[in-house]
Chain A
Amino acid sequence: MKNTNRKNEVPKKRIRDGLLLMGATRGPFRRMARHIKNPTWVLGIVLALVLTYLIAIPVVMLVLESIQVHSIDAVYFQQKTGSFTLNYFKRAITSKVASVLFLQPLLNTLLIATIITITTTVIGYILAWLLVRTDLKLKKLYSSLSVIPFMLPSWSYAAAWVTLFKNRKMAGAPGILEVMGFMIPDAVSYGPLPIIVCLTMHFFPLAFLMFGNAFQRIDSQLEESAQILGANKAQIARYILLPVMRPAIMSTILLTFARSVGTFGTPYTLGRPVRFNTLSTSLYFTHQSSEPGVMAVIALAMLMIGATLVALDVYVLREYRRFVTMGGKGQMSRPLVLGKSQWMMNLLVALFLFTVIVVPLGVLFLSTIMITPGWFVKSNFTLQFWFAKETKVREAVSGLLRDPNLLKVGWTSIKVAGIGAIACGFIGTLVGYSIVRLQQSNISKYLKQISFLPYLVPGIGFGAAYLVLFATGRGPIPALYGTLLLMIMAMSVMYLPLTTRSSITSMAQMGVEPEEAAMILGAGWRTRMTKIVIPIQKKSLFSGILLAFVQGMKELSLVIMLAVPGLEVLTTLSIRYTDNALMQMSNGVILVIALLTFTLTAIAQRLTKTNFAQGIGG
């Protein structure tokens, strides 16, 4: 009797074996046999393997790197290359140089990341509230302007800061304020204070976008119900708005913290003159001074911070799922009337945006057309940094637009970001497809987790891991360090969370019906993929690619680890100019990058007719 029952079950399950494959039959072999016949499963498994190799294995290699003797240290340690050692950990944690190499940078990193997180969250929250929930005039304009700081390369603010506040401690052209006769103390010119200010200006758009999206989803009737029941504005903010926003606040905190930990350009530019190091700069210096073991330890520490943040994020999401804001018919969003404070708020927002957009970009531009920035006489103005065949400031250095090297480096940048973004877009679409179609299977869960990992993991730590994995040939894979391919690979993995997420959303919106209809009409898997799924996803794919491209163009912390002389991108070139005390040239490159990202974003928004900036917030 039991047997017949079992036999009867099989065809029933077969019926369900459509697209979703929610259920699994008993018996691992039967399951496997069926899965291998199903292309979606094959795709899922292949992607899982590829992502494991590209995301998980580098981390494992990093661990090995930190506990194995390196060839350069073999003689000194009197151990064979590759044997087990704890010396690198000792050097980073307990030795005399531990404080300089690791402990102090760790403390500095946590300190500035914490403060930046607080400042950006507060600014982003207030700005999002003003621009979404109130009737502030010109709020559309303000909203689009508010995104600009995040489209600039991360250290643009640092560069502008140095141009303004630099004192004698650093070589090269003097700072504008000093030329104008002000004495600037070190604490203002360099170190934690300017780092925090600059990164706050760069990161607040992230918080703004995330809060803006969250505010938009809140039914204003939630507030009105409280008001009807006698709550005043403060009570509504305290008991209704803040708790409802808590999930968004938590994810914003985690994201800004992760980005602050991973950022390189700003602490490098502003910290170096006073030897203020963060984990990212310390990692870079250990790489420069050939200490691969300690570098691995620092990179691991950064990845640990990233992993902690990922774990927290998973926990927070689960915790808040029980009170997802319910959407429904009859939702309303009525802006709060500002009344008398209208013009006051307008003034404040305009002033703020002026300070974070016009001032820094103005300073950067001004510096590129002056021999001595800040000395406002006619003879001091020059176009040589842009157009001269050979600048008078330094021999053998030609103006940016006359420099064949700039063209070459720019082209490399476009290749790296462009090919990386396209790869990232297609892989992301496929990963998203597998996650949605294999829902509730372990493969789907695994893909979701691993593709999300780079989102909160510091880019420079990731770069270090890639460096380690591909420094030498392993098995069939040759040494890729110093190749364009490695940069492209790193880039496409780094922005995978972006494209995967947008793909999951649009895949879920599409539903299974279009594909099932094609199936009924006799289309095989490949036909469905190329004729139905990808075309429907075209828009989301395209905007995902462009978003990754724009981000890739201004990426520094990832590529700084992978760039070698002869293989540079625009961002590393700008840093190289800073190293050589060629401030004007460095600033010029930043402006070139900014111009490229602005133009591309504008074109992308035209083409896709979306507010493309919203994707950045994820």
Chain B
Amino acid sequence: MTDIYLERIVKRFGPDALAVDDFSLHVAPGSFVCLLGPSGCGKTTTLRMISGLERVDSGVVTIGGEVFDSPQQNIFVKPENRRLGLVFQSYALWPHMTVEENVEFGLKMQRVDKEERTKIITGSLNLLRMESYRKRYPAQLSGGQQQRVALARMLAVQPHILLLDEPLSNLDAALRLQMRSELKSLHERLGNTIVFVTHDQLEAMSLATHVAVMNEGRLEQYADPMTIYQKPATDFVATFVGSPPMNMVEFSDATGWRGRLLEQVAQSYDLADRKDRIGKIGFRPEAVSLVSARAEKKEGSKEIKIAGRVKAVLPTGPEVVISVVVEESEYYVVAPTNGGVENGESVQLVVPLEHIHIFDRQGMRL
């Protein structure tokens, strides 16, 4: 089993383009790690540095206990000698080779003999249910099939580490769901270490054993999916993960209802002396319950209340998203039913205190 250590990696493309900034990560053997972040956050660059297609400017890349890239020690192992697998977003199948020849290529490069090659090709094509397409050219395959061939091509060389660069983003929704479950079961069966790049948080949450959330070249949080969701380390993670995103109340202007809210939160969390450090609070849409404004105002200390007006009711099928406007801000509520509220109705957002996330002025969790 192979693990990956990235230590204080820095990568720039030109003087003003810092792609990856002091990034450290340990990928445990056999884990399925997702690099998650908006486009341009440096996740693909990180993956390419693991593969060796890109060299680090400073820092150390260690794979399986062996240093692969370290400018300080003047060590660099070329990608062709790293023996790992990498599947691109565009699949990058060689258009002039059949499915079979595409899969065979890596084995030829490793000088596996003919008989063995045939066996492995059949095996990996079978694994991905592409056996019957052996003689086809990539142009004759659908997107999902091309995707499978791209995977089979990399799995054939039995890499300990498999790197996937947004492999599902070119597929339609139904196929994406199917490939997701296939990837997960492949990982369980083969047990290799997988690093997966995506900007789709749902994909990351459902596939990964660990998620590394990246923003502007930095690591925001590295944890298992449930921790990421329930205890976001920064306000960026809190708003990036989850759909609709976490509702945020900012205290840059702490007057009126915001001031009262800040007071209440500070009181109940014993932060009264550090009140000015609190930058914002957040709560997930599903943690909110809606109460009609006409309902009796019962003073509870275990929850916060915000008064607003319903702007729209958006049923999605299994649940209903209700958008509520409070002054100039818009908040979302997710509930199993609309609970009888209508457009334009005055309501109260009620959030239990234990569901409130508090962030300081730098955006770090308090």
Contacts and interface: CB of A to CB of B under 8 A. Distances in A.
Interface string A142-171: 000000000000000000000000000000
B137 A229 contact: no
Interface in A163-184: none
Interface string B136-157: 0111100000000000011001
Contacts of B84: 228
A222 B165 CA distance: 14
A73 interface: no
Given A322-B137, A323-B138, A229 B92 contact: no
A565 interface: no
A330 B96 contact: no
A77 interface: no
Interface residues of A, number: 29
B170 interface: yes
Contacts of A222: 92, 94
A324 B95 contact: yes
A467 B97 CA distance: 49
A330 to B, nearest CB: 3
A415 B9 CA distance: 65
A137 to B, nearest CB: 14
B334 to A, nearest CB: 31
A329 B90 contact: yes
B80 A230 contact: yes
A71 interface: no
B59 interface: no
Contacts, number: 94
Interface size grouping (class) on chain B: 35 or more
A239 B91 contact: no
Interface stretch (A3-11, A240-248, A434-442): A240-248
A380 interface: no
Given A230-B109, A231-B109, A323-B137, A225 B88 contact: yes
Contact of B139 (A228, A231, A324): A324
Contacts of B110: 230
B81 interface: yes
B38 interface: no
Nearest to B107: A229
B222 to A, nearest CB: 25
B99 interface: no
Given A225-B86, A229-B153, A330-B170, A323 B106 contact: no
Contacts of A326: 93, 95, 138-139
A324 B93 CA distance: 12
A414 B191 CA distance: 73
Nearest to A324: B139
Contacts of B106: 229-230
A325 interface: yes
Contact of A228 (B80, B94, B169): B80
Nearest to B81: A230
Contacts of B289: none
Interface string B105-146: 110011000000000000000000000000001111000000
Interface of B is mostly: loop
B166 interface: yes
B198 interface: no
Nearest to B150: A225
Contact of B86 (A224, A239, A328): A224
Given A224-B86, A326-B139, A329-B169, A231 B94 contact: no
A227 interface: yes
Interface in A323-356: 323-326, 328-332, 334
Nearest to B165: A330
A221 B170 CA distance: 15
Interface string B53-87: 10000000000000000000000001111111110
B89 interface: yes
B139 A224 contact: no
B51 interface: yes
Interface in A237-289: 239-240, 243-244, 246
A449 interface: no
* Residue in B51, B80, B91 whose Cβ sees the most chain A Cβ within 10 Å: B80
Contacts of B154: 228-229
B85 A330 contact: no
Interface string B198-232: 00000000000000000000000000000000000
A95 interface: no
A296 B201 CA distance: 73
B170 A328 contact: yes
B81 to A, nearest CB: 7
A326 B95 CA distance: 7
Contact of A331 (B53, B90, B94, B140): B90
A307 interface: no
A226 interface: yes
B85 A228 contact: yes
A608 interface: no
A610 interface: no
Given A323-B96, A324-B95, A224 B137 contact: no
A232 interface: yes
Those 3 A-B pairs whose CB atoms lie nearest each other, nearest first: A330-B89, A229-B106, A221-B92
18 contacts: A226-B109, A227-B53, A227-B79, A227-B80, A228-B84, A228-B85, A229-B106, A230-B81, A230-B106, A230-B109, A243-B94, A322-B140, A325-B95, A326-B93, A326-B95, A326-B138, A329-B170, A332-B90
Given A239-B105, A329-B170, 17 more contacts: A219-B92, A224-B88, A225-B94, A227-B80, A228-B86, A228-B154, A229-B106, A229-B157, A230-B81, A231-B105, A244-B96, A323-B137, A323-B139, A328-B90, A330-B165, A330-B166, A330-B170
Interface of B: 51, 53, 78-86, 88-97, 105-106, 109-110, 137-140, 153-154, 157, 165-166, 169-170
